[in-house]
Structure 1
Amino acid sequence: MEFKLPLSPADLPSLGSAPTASDIIANHIREAIITGDFDEGEPIRQDDVAKLFDVSKIPVREALKRLEAEGLVEFQRNRGAVVKSISEPEIAQIFEVRAMLESSALKLSVPLMTEATFKRAEQYCDEFAQETNVARWAELNWQFHSCLYEDANRPFLMNLIRSVNDRIERYLRIQLTLSGGTGVDDREHRQILAACRKGDADEAAELLWQHITKACESLLTNIRK
């Protein structure tokens, strides 16, 4: 597969000290994996990436090592870096961790939520229900969920949640596509939001846990089919 990224290498000289070339390369390889431009098991050729960005192989290796730590890439003998495959048991465990982290964040956030948060979340719900592009579904799904956790003011926890979601986003897109649309997700999102509006943190967290668990079950069922 020809390696193509949305950023032109010509942009790299203007980056200055932040972000670095390895930051840019890691971000765009990550996006290519998440969107499915790279298939599971597909090699990521360091020479091609370095040539594309007009850099040495050093920042490319740094970027790939970072993606290895995130669980998106693995290094195989005689093949180099390849897009990592995730087994069904691993997918189930990742969703379980996601449910634990996100329900905890929501519990912390609900008592601190404002009307502005509710309006933002409702807007994301409306856009999600009307959207037909699966890439935007995934983006709006993240925006809805993450806006409900922000009032907790736990940046480290948010970074963990974002990392877990990045690791399985390609599967979330599959799940949304194979489940036939956004109807069930939209209804469950609005139920979670209603519990948040009531200030019932326990109910909101339980609904969220069920929502994430059902998404996992739907994904695994469709993968087996």
Structure 2
Amino acid sequence: MTLSKFNLPDLGNTPSTSEIITRHLREAIVAGHFAEDEPIRQDDIARQFNVSKIPVREALKRLEAEGLVMFQRNRGAMVTRISEAELAQMFEVRMLLEDKVLRLAIPNMTEETFARAESICREFIGEDDVGRWAELNWQLHACLYEPAQRPFLVGLIRSVHDKLERYLRMQMSLSAGKERADHEHREILAACRAGDVERAVKLLDEHIAGVCKTLFEFLPSSH
């Protein structure tokens, strides 16, 4: 019997239970609903999702690979604490990788690139949801880097952004971070449009260093 005449769902594109749990836990962590070093109780999560502990464990393993969760003996899974020294190194890595990819990208940028970047800037400054700020911030950076045609390199940069996202949300919400980021993004975009590689890279370095400096000013003293 064929089922082709029925309106069947495409289960091949349906996220698995563990993927759904991963997405919700990731959002809860980066939004600060879990404190650093706070245990994540698998039993509690399984009960809230009405599932067994197996997909919860799979989700936590994915988040461990992303650097958001760590496992400790006798304590189980907990939110990873990142030290100031580690944060500083992540920003150093951002500069190294993003400088490289922006240099490669600028010669390949088109009017479509600039129009898309400007559209993201407009949406960013008009957005009130801090969670969307972080996503739009990444979308803009990705828009400027994609013309480099280095997907592996951009993927590495994205992984660093993901690890920093909860701190970037704090930095943008506790300071005038959104307005400053918008101004600096537009300056970088203007330099890219002018084809001025050295100025664009210089502005990008100042942007990343400024975010790092402001973030450290707002970090809790116990960090």
Q: Is this a same-fold pair by TM over 0.5?
A: yes
Q: TM-score range by the shorter chain?
A: 0.7 to 0.9
Q: 1:218 aligns with which of 179, 200, 214?
A: 214
Deviation at 1:148, TM superposition (A): 0.6
Which residue in the other structure is 2:4 paired with?
A: none
Whole-angstrom distance in 1 between the partners of 2:164 and 2:55: 25
Residues 65-93 of structure 1: CA deviation (Å, up to 9, x unaligned): 22112211011232210111111111111
CA distance in 2, matches of 1:31, 1:116: 31
1:113 is matched with 109
1:98 aligns with 94
Matches of 1:49 and 1:182 in 2, distance apart? 33
* Alpha-carbon distance in structure 2 between the residues aligned to 1:23 and 1:163: 17
Rg (Cα) greater in structure: 2
**1:132 Cα deviation after fit:** 3.0
Are residue 160 (structure 1) and residue 160 (structure 2) matched?
Answer: no
Q: Displacement of 1:106 after TM fit?
A: 1.2
Give distance in 1, aligned partners of 2:43 and 2:218.
Answer: 37
Cα 1:17–1:54 shift into 2, 3 Å: farther
Structure 2 unaligned runs (5+)? 1-8
The separation in 1 between residues aligned to 2:112 and 2:201, in whole angstroms, is 20
- 1:203 aligns to 2:199 (yes or no): yes
1:77 to 58, 69, 73: 73
Per the alignment, residue 10 of structure 1 pairs with none
Partner of residue 27, structure 1:
23
1:40 aligns with 36
Alpha-carbon distance change, 57 to 100 in structure 1, aligned in 2, over 3 angstroms: same
Q: What is the aligned counterpart of 1:127 among 118, 123, 126?
A: 123
For 2:49 and 2:174, the matched residues in 1 are separated by 35
Q: Give 1:213 deviation, angstroms.
A: 0.9
Q: CA RMSD in A?
A: 2.1
Q: Which shows bigger deviation, 178-187 or 15-24? A: 15-24
CA distance in 2, matches of 1:15, 1:48: 28
Percentage of pairs with the same residue:
62
| 1:145 and 2:141 aligned | yes
TM-score (norm 1): 0.86
Q: Give the Cα separation in 2 of the matches to 1:224 and 1:48.
A: 28
Q: Secondary structure at the match of 2:70?
A: strand
Q: How many residues align?
A: 213
The letter of the residue matching 2:97 is L
Deviations 1:6-42, CA, capped at 9 Å, x for gaps: xxxxxxx985586433222222211211111222122
Q: Distance in 2 between matches of 1:55 and 1:99?
A: 42
Tell me the amino acid that sits aligned with residue 158 of structure 1.
V
> Counterpart of 2:170?
174
